[in-house]
Chain A
Amino acid sequence: MSSTTEQRKVNARMKNPLFLLWIIGIVAIAAVPFAMPSLQLLVSFAMAKGLGVLGVTVLLRAGQVSFGHALYFGISAYAGAFLMASMPGTDFVIVLIAGTLGAVLAGLLVGLFVVRYRGIFFGMLNLAFSMIFWSILEKFYHYTGGADGIRLPRPMVLGNTLDHVQFELVLFYTAVVLMVALGWFTTRWFASPVGQLFQTIKTNETRLEYLGVSPRRALLSGYLLSAVLCGVGGVMMGMAQGVVTPEYVWWVRSAEMVFIAVLGGAGSVQGAFLGALIYEFVRTYASVYAGDIWQMILGGFLLIIILFAPGGLIAILNSLFNRGSGKGGTGK
Chain B
Amino acid sequence: MNFAIFLLALFDGIAYAALVFIVALGLTLIFGVMRILNVAHGSLYAIGAYASVTLTGYALSLGFAPVLAFPLMIVSAVLVGILIGAPLEKFLLRRIYDKSEVLQLLMTFAVFMILEDVQRLVWGTRPYFDSSALQVLGNVTVFGVTYTAYQMILLPLVAIALLLGMRFFLRHTVTGKLITATTEDREAAQSIGVDADKVFLFTFVIGAILAGLGGALASPTTSILPGMGADMIVLSFAVVATAGLGQIEGAALTALMIGLGRSFAVYLYPEISVLVPYLIMVLVLLVRPEGLFGTPGARKI
The residues of A with any CB-CB pair to B shorter than 8 Å are 60, 63-65, 67, 113, 116-121, 123-125, 127-129, 131-132, 135-136, 139-140, 204, 206-207, 251, 255, 258, 262, 292-296, 298-300, 302-303, 306-307, 310
Contact = CB atoms under 8 A, between A and B. Distances in A.
Contact of B238 (A128, A298, A306): A128
B275 to A, nearest CB: 6
Given A65-B102, A65-B106, A124 B234 contact: yes
B278 interface: yes
Given A125-B241, A296-B117, 17 more contacts: A60-B102, A63-B102, A65-B105, A120-B245, A123-B105, A125-B285, A128-B278, A131-B278, A135-B274, A206-B301, A255-B113, A295-B113, A300-B114, A303-B110, A306-B106, A306-B110, A310-B103
Contacts of A124: 37, 234, 237, 241
B158 interface: no
A260 B114 CA distance: 16
B112 A299 contact: yes
12 contacts: A60-B102, A116-B289, A117-B285, A120-B101, A120-B245, A124-B241, A131-B231, A131-B234, A136-B275, A206-B299, A295-B117, A307-B95
A208 B283 CA distance: 28
Interface in B113-142: 113-114, 116-118, 120-121
A209 B107 CA distance: 30
B274 A121 contact: no
Contacts of A125: 241, 285
B286 interface: yes
B294 to A, nearest CB: 11
Contacts of B110: 298-300, 302-303, 306
Contacts of B286: 113
B164 interface: no
A36 to B, nearest CB: 31
A128 B281 CA distance: 10
A63 B104 CA distance: 12
B170 interface: no
A255 B114 contact: no
Nearest to B92: A303
A128 B117 contact: no
Nearest to B103: A306
A310 to B, nearest CB: 7
A64 B230 contact: no
Residue among B110, B111, B286, B289 facing the most chain A CB atoms (10 A cut-off): B110
Contact of A303 (B102, B105, B107): B107
Contacts of B98: none
Contacts of B120: 292
B254 to A, nearest CB: 14
B271 A139 contact: yes
A255 B112 CA distance: 10
A294 B275 CA distance: 29
Contact of B274 (A116, A120, A139): A139
Contacts of A119: 101-102, 105
A292 B241 CA distance: 33
A325 B111 CA distance: 38
A67 B233 CA distance: 13
Nearest to A298: B113
B169 interface: no
Contacts of A120: 37, 101, 105, 245
Contacts of B114: 295-296, 299-300, 303
Interface string B216-257: 000000000000001100100110010001000000000000
B105 A135 contact: no
A135 B275 contact: yes
B106 A262 contact: yes
Contacts of A299: 109-114, 117
B289 A292 contact: no
B2 interface: no
